[in-house]
Structure 1
């Protein structure tokens, strides 16, 4: 049973729904997996809960 874990910033439930459908379809096509066997876990992280290069995400500026 394929299990996919996605770590990301919070996203709209509709976006997650669409991504889960597409990921499932890819496993069905490539691995010939049954759709009901594919599990997708979303782990959402706020910008104050991660750092890049020693700088907290909430302190980084967008370019």
Structure 2
């Protein structure tokens, strides 16, 4: 059973739902796995807790 971990900033529940379904579909379509064997874990980090290019993501 694959476990996919997504590290990201905060997103709406609707966007997370779409992401989970899309990742699951990739494993179903490409590996022939049953959808209920695919786990997707989303770990959200507030934008003031990470940065890109030396700038906090909250400032972008």
> When the two structures are superposed, what TM-score results if normalisation uses the length of structure 2?
0.84
Q: Gapped runs of 5+ residues in structure 1? A: none
Q: What does the per-residue CA deviation read over 1:14-60, in whole Å, with 9 as the maximum and x for residues that have no partner?
A: 1111111111111001011110000000000111211334443334x
Partner of 2:42: 42
The 8 Å contact of residues 48 and 58 in structure 2, kept in 1 or not, is answered as yes
Partner of 2:19: 19
Partner of 2:32: 32
SS at match of 1:6: strand
Structural RMSD (CA)? 1.3
Q: Gapped runs of 5+ residues in structure 2? A: none
How many matched pairs?
60
